[in-house]
Structure 1
Amino acid sequence: MEQGGFVLWWLAAVVVVYWLLVVERVLYLTLYFPKQRKQWISQWHARNDQSSWHAKAIREGWLGQASMLLNQNLNFIKLLVAICPMLGLLGTVTGMISVFDVMATQGSSNPKLMASGISLATLPTMAGMVAALAGMFVHARLAKVCSRLELKLEKSLRSQQ
């Protein structure tokens, strides 16, 4: 963290937030949504009238609520993942500025010092890219699982028509 500069701390904070949101989504999908899904399905199957306008409106309301609950925080996770490479580039730019500033004040054009400074300046970009790649994979998997669960619920609620 010392070598990459202060921007790495910002990047670490973004990564911690998006992993906390990912863990929250996984816990919701595995622990809470199945219970809610069973409740909606049992309430639907317990209804005598499943074909009236009112019954269809109730079903569509449940499907809308399920969609909202399933996709909650997914856009924010996507936003945080998109921020990671930008923070990495910001860290690289600030690192390069400090390398050139040191070179200008010391009057040194030693290639070894320049190479080590540039090497340290590129660490935030690498960290941002690694964080973004992991986040993109996890976001895509979560979005796919949420979509699949939403379709399964819709199929379950429409099966008794």
Structure 2
Amino acid sequence: MEQVLLNTLGLISEDWASTLVSFMHQGGPILRWLAAAVVVCWLLIIERVLYITIEFPKVKAQLGAQWQARVDHHSWYAHQIRQGWLAQADTQLHKNLSMIKVLVAIFPMLGLLGTVTGMITVFDVMATQGSSNPKLMASGISLATLPTMAGMVAALAGMFIHARLSKMCERKAIQLEQSLRSQK
């Protein structure tokens, strides 16, 4: 089913699709949950990148025009209005960053859950079949190690991207604040 879905979407070639399906099968059900969490995380990351690069410049221009249209720029009231606009823009900039951070923290935990379930499988095979046949334990060992590796790789990539997005948001917020101060 997974291979049919990947092939119909045309996302990857058949060799890659069969390799991915094999990897997912060897990793067990926890790896599927991890893959779903990774997909959600990357969708949120893409949404943030699109907002920062496409929507935020429009918001910045709109706030700049609103500030420029104001007659009063120096009173306490004007500063409070500007601070409110900056707070709203900052909230929009940092939207979903906490969710991305939580998902990144969950990735290694799901990997460890896969390790535990895989080791339970290995011990179950050893208890029922004896420990003399390594072929019987091989599937349980792969079930134990693949989710851990996938969870760690996903967490490392997610930590890097989250840090970059956070820095971008901070930089954009500072630029917006400076642009509203320098006008008039």
Please give the TM-score of this superposition, normalised by the length of structure 2: 0.83
| Local SS of the residue matching 1:51 | coil
Q: Are 2:158 and 1:126 equivalent residues in the alignment? A: no
Where does 1:51-70 land on structure 2 (aligned, <5 Å)? 51-70=74-93
- What is the aligned-residue RMSD (CA, Å)? 1.4
Equivalent position to 1:33, from 49, 52, 56 = 56
Deviations 1:66-95 (A, max 9, x none): 110000000110000000000000001100
Shift of 1:113: 4.3
User: Is the Cα–Cα contact under 8 Å of residues 27 and 143 in structure 2 kept in the other structure?
Assistant: yes
What is the CA–CA distance in structure 2 between the aligned matches of 1:59 and 1:20, rounded to whole Å? Answer: 32
Q: Are 2:112 and 1:89 equivalent residues in the alignment? A: yes
Q: Which ranges in structure 1 are unaligned for 5 or more consecutive residues?
A: none
User: Is the Cα–Cα contact under 8 Å of residues 30 and 113 in structure 2 kept in the other structure?
Assistant: yes
Q: Are 2:165 and 1:159 equivalent residues in the alignment? A: no
What is the CA–CA distance in structure 2 between the aligned matches of 1:41 and 1:110, rounded to whole Å? Answer: 72
Where does 1:96-135 land on structure 2 (aligned, <5 Å)? 96-111=119-134, 113-114=136-137, 117-135=140-158
Amino acid corresponding to residue 21 of structure 1 in structure 2? L
Deviations 1:8-31 (A, max 9, x none): 011011001000000110111111
Equivalent position to 2:38, from 4, 9, 15 = 15
What is the CA–CA distance in structure 1 between the aligned matches of 2:140 and 2:36, rounded to whole Å? Answer: 24
Please give the TM-score of this superposition, normalised by the length of structure 1: 0.94
What is the CA–CA distance in structure 1 between the aligned matches of 2:158 and 2:35, rounded to whole Å? Answer: 13
What is the CA–CA distance in structure 2 between the aligned matches of 1:71 and 1:109, rounded to whole Å? Answer: 55
Give the match for residue 103 of structure 2: 80
| Local SS of the residue matching 1:2 | helix
What is the CA–CA distance in structure 1 between the aligned matches of 2:105 and 2:181, rounded to whole Å? Answer: 37
77-86 or 116-125, which deviates more: 116-125
Q: Which ranges in structure 2 are unaligned for 5 or more consecutive residues?
A: 1-23
Q: Percent identity?
A: 71
| Local SS of the residue matching 1:63 | helix
Q: When the two structures are aligned, how many residues end up with a matched partner? A: 161
